[in-house]
Chain A
């Protein structure tokens, strides 16, 4: 299992568009990817769950990957977050 923490810098937080992109990105990997915030966690491959986190600018989220391709997944997710969120 691999994880990293990320503080959102996008003023709008994880709104619909990046949530969609994030799900697309997560679906590229076979391992399970979870995003959690304040004890709530969401499957990164499910758009409603991700939007339901209502993660906003300045808040910290933890991204966890667990499975065969977890290394590649965690790297890709981190790059994605930096670039888009």
Chain B
């Protein structure tokens, strides 16, 4: 038994034989052609077929991973339509009277060399794109599309690296998992690997020659590739795989379905994310949007205040990946249990009731303005909303709106495009609940943060394990607060959602629907389970019983 560690880009367990995939550097022969015109036509036909294939790959990728990640296939199409590239091929065929295959391969080498000699790591990697598109044309010239895997039984593909088109084309029925020696988690390959929904590891230092044909296990959760597993490992992994399978099957049946109750009430089910890395999970689990984007991670991962540009890039990427679905960015919620050294915060006796979240933003406006600028700028690339945490007063909301309006005006003056940005607040203090009727008139939506709301309502520190016996997340005081918030939101004609942990509490789903909650934002892995609960609820029939049971 030999165990390798790699970086997982998609979870799951696979057990099977290894097939080492070596790039069939297409052997290209050179020969003389007499009918140059016909040869050019042969190339043109092959190119058109290749563009057609890329269009299909693009559509497939858009459906499965979103527009932003699919864009590479659009760029590949453009590369094939590039006049320099085409001219070079035409020229070679004409002047040297050579076959199309040779002209394509030679041109591909030249362009790839141009990229790999560039003084820029990103551009160096583009050499692989040139080769990838050229190989597609070559495969068509050689008759038929290239089959990447030639096997009868499903296998674990192990390779040095895989081009995006190779990954996306792998026949799902024949591939159990893949493991590559190279590749980065930002590479197109890694992103596209997730479309396949199979376990995948990158950066795994496997000796390719020693593993071909052997039995192996890929554990995409632990990032492990185990070759020749022993009996115990095998039993353990088979058990893990079975559980995983059952979960995935349940989810598959729910994907693509609307979140609609038996009596026809539609609910938004969104996902909470704490890092840009969670985006793949959001798409895989078919969330309708992002209900809580915890922007703190950008601050916590930095050693100094993140710049507008750094933040903008992240927000823009999220907006583009979500391709028009709503993305609610919560502004900085630091303090209490989340600390970054460079904020130089004083020690506090009671940090949960201390200097945190919006309180920092309103006293250190420069931090807040930088973040808002980044958010507003990113709103030109998708449907971005912003929400503000830890609100306790109307005064705060008015101050925030004033700052936001100033930031917007400043951007307009600089001719920087911004989209329509809905502004909402988190309802997570009893104070906000009690004045929610007035607050609702000032904002576009409410999102109830049940974790803090529970801790502040019950006066229980959720970090203290001794208090567990006293802590009741279903306390009627909390549930009444939620009901009151939702009612006041509806009175003012705005929507109200829940983004705390309680939102994913399946025991309460029927109750939340009964009091008219419009949106539930939960961790990506819970989206489909919540959908299932919604599909099984008849609000009108069950309301009375639910209210009686919980309030």
Is A bound to B? Answer: yes
A residues contacting B by CB (< 8 A) are 9, 11-13, 15-17, 19-20, 23-24, 43, 45-49, 51-52, 54, 56, 82-83
> Helix, strand, loop or mixed for chain B's interface?
helix
Q: A16-B126, A54-B123, A56-B120 are in contact. Are A48 and B79 (CB under 8 A)?
A: yes
Q: Are B84 and A15 in contact (CB under 8 A)?
A: no
Q: Are B415 and A82 in contact (CB under 8 A)?
A: yes
Q: Quick one: which of B393-425 are within 8 Å of A by CB? A: 415-417
CB-CB nearest 7 A-B residue pairs: A20-B75, A47-B78, A48-B82, A47-B82, A54-B120, A16-B75, A17-B71
Binds A, one of B111-119, B239-247, B253-261: B111-119
Q: Are B82 and A46 in contact (CB under 8 A)?
A: yes
Q: Are B129 and A16 in contact (CB under 8 A)?
A: yes
Q: A9-B309, A54-B120 are in contact. Are A16 and B72 (CB under 8 A)?
A: yes
Name the A residues within 8 Å of B415 (CB-CB).
82
Name the B residues within 8 Å of A83 (CB-CB).
380, 417
Q: Are A11 and B123 in contact (CB under 8 A)?
A: no
Name the B residues within 8 Å of A48 (CB-CB).
79, 82, 84-85, 111, 114, 130
Can you list 19 residue pairs at the A/B interface with Cβ under 8 Å? A11-B309, A11-B310, A11-B313, A13-B120, A15-B122, A15-B123, A16-B75, A17-B75, A20-B71, A20-B78, A23-B78, A46-B84, A48-B130, A51-B115, A51-B123, A52-B115, A52-B118, A54-B118, A54-B120
Does B83 touch A at the CB level, under 8 Å?
yes
Cα distance A39–B26 in the bound complex, in angstroms: 38
Does B536 touch A at the CB level, under 8 Å?
no
13 extra interchain contacts, Cβ-Cβ under 8 A, other than A12-B122, A19-B75, A47-B75?
A: A11-B310, A16-B72, A16-B75, A17-B71, A46-B83, A47-B78, A47-B82, A48-B82, A48-B85, A48-B130, A51-B115, A52-B115, A54-B120
- What is the 8 Å Cβ interface bit string for chain B, positions 68-98, against chain A (1 contact, 0 not)? 0001101100110011110000000000000
Name the A residues within 8 Å of B416 (CB-CB).
82
Name the A residues within 8 Å of B119 (CB-CB).
54
Cα distance A46–B82 in the bound complex, in angstroms: 5
Name the B residues within 8 Å of A51 (CB-CB).
115, 123, 126
Cα distance A47–B79 in the bound complex, in angstroms: 6
A34 CB, min distance to chain B CBs, angstroms: 14
State the total of A-B contacts with C-beta under 8 angstroms: 57
Q: Are A43 and B83 in contact (CB under 8 A)?
A: yes
Name the A residues within 8 Å of B85 (CB-CB).
48
B residues contacting A by CB (< 8 A) are 71-72, 74-75, 78-79, 82-85, 111, 114-115, 118-120, 122-123, 126, 129-130, 309-310, 313, 380, 415-417
Cα distance A53–B120 in the bound complex, in angstroms: 11
Cα distance A27–B416 in the bound complex, in angstroms: 24
A35 CB, min distance to chain B CBs, angstroms: 14
Most buried by B among A20, A48, A82: A48
Cα distance A9–B380 in the bound complex, in angstroms: 16
B418 CB, min distance to chain A CBs, angstroms: 11
Cα distance A43–B120 in the bound complex, in angstroms: 21
Name the B residues within 8 Å of A47 (CB-CB).
75, 78-79, 82
Name the A residues within 8 Å of B114 (CB-CB).
48, 52
Cα distance A23–B119 in the bound complex, in angstroms: 23
Q: Are B74 and A20 in contact (CB under 8 A)?
A: yes
Name the A residues within 8 Å of B130 (CB-CB).
48
Closest residue to A15 on the B side, CB-wise? B122
Cα distance A46–B81 in the bound complex, in angstroms: 8
A33 CB, min distance to chain B CBs, angstroms: 13
Closest residue to A14 on the B side, CB-wise? B123
Name the B residues within 8 Å of A56 (CB-CB).
120
